[in-house]
């Protein structure tokens, strides 16, 4: 019998199966198990919505859902290491996506600085704006290096501590870089940087959400410190 709620589940409105983590019984110290759940089962209800960056999500409610014995995925009560590994893998992928989004923000902003003119000259002729553009490129390259390191550690199947340290280090740096690059890109585009018609506004929202998904920089900084 499955009861409870999972909030803001990405892709849930279009999913044919849900992988749900849950504890057996009422003991809070009991280990988590994974179950494969059909979202059309009686007792499963979805409340769909969209995130700031346009992803389809849903709050999934389970009200006394009967599960068969064949729905258990993996060992009972032993799912936590698998959840942590999958989350680290997903976080490394999000870091790579964030680097790609930052690269687009840099390219679009550089092109704008070269073509947008004020008083008869491109605004990129302003030295202060050029310095800000250089800072965007530097933090993006730093983020790229950490994303590559995190992907390598996850893909190599190294021990969990090394994997977690690399992923948390990347998430901390990339969350900070995403904030800086996205905000600078909008500011250098001026007021039009937040309009729906300009792609940079959507990049800003996506980078903002990527920085928060699978825990924010504060959480990963604390985890990195504990693993040190």
pLDDT at 105 over 80: yes
pLDDT at 195: 86
pLDDT at 67: 86
63-72 LR contacts (CB < 8 Å, sep 24+): 63/3, 64/1, 64/2, 64/3, 65/1, 65/2, 65/3, 65/37, 65/41, 66/1, 66/41, 66/42, 67/1, 67/2, 67/35, 67/37, 71/35, 71/36, 71/37, 72/33, 72/34, 72/35
pLDDT at 11: 93
Computed on alpha carbons and rounded to an integer, the radius of gyration of the chain in Å comes to 21
What's the whole-number mean pLDDT along residues 98-110? 96
pLDDT at 197 over 90: no
The model's pLDDT over 138-177, given as tens digits with 9 standing for 90+, comes to 999 999 999 999 999 998 877 889 999 999 999 999 999 9
Domains and CATH numbers, the chain: 2-73 (2.40.110.10), 80-227 (1.20.140.10)
pLDDT at 140: 96
pLDDT at 219: 92
pLDDT at 26: 63
Give the residue with greater pLDDT, 197 vs 167. Answer: 167
Total-model pTM: 0.88
pLDDT at 45 over 90: yes
């Amino acid at each position: 019998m499955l009861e409870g709620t999972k909030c803001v589940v990405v892709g849930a409105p279009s999913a044919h199966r849900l992988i749900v983590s849950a504890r057996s019984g009422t003991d809070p110290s009991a280990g988590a198990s994974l179950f494969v759940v059909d979202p059309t089962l009686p007792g499963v209800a979805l409340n769909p919505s969209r995130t700031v960056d346009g992803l389809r999500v849903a709050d999934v409610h389970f009200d006394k859902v009967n599960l068969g014995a064949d729905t258990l995925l993996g060992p009972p009560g032993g799912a936590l290491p698998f959840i942590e590994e999958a989350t680290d893998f997903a976080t490394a992928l999000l870091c790579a996506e964030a680097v790609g989004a930052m690269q687009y923000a840099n390219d679009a902003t550089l092109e704008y600085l070269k073509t947008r003119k004020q008083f008869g000259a491109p605004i990129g002729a302003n030295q202060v704006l050029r310095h800000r553009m250089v800072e965007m490129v530097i933090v993006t390259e730093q983020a790229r290096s950490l994303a590559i390191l995190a992907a390598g550690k996850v893909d190599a199947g190294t021990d969990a501590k090394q994997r977690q340290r690399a992923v948390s280090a990347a998430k901390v740096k990339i969350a900070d870089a995403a904030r800086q690059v996205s905000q600078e890109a909008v500011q250098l585009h001026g007021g039009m940087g937040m309009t729906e018609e300009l792609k940079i506004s959507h990049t800003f929202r996506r980078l903002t959400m990527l920085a928060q998904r699978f825990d924010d920089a504060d959480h990963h900084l604390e985890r990195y410190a504990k693993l040190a």
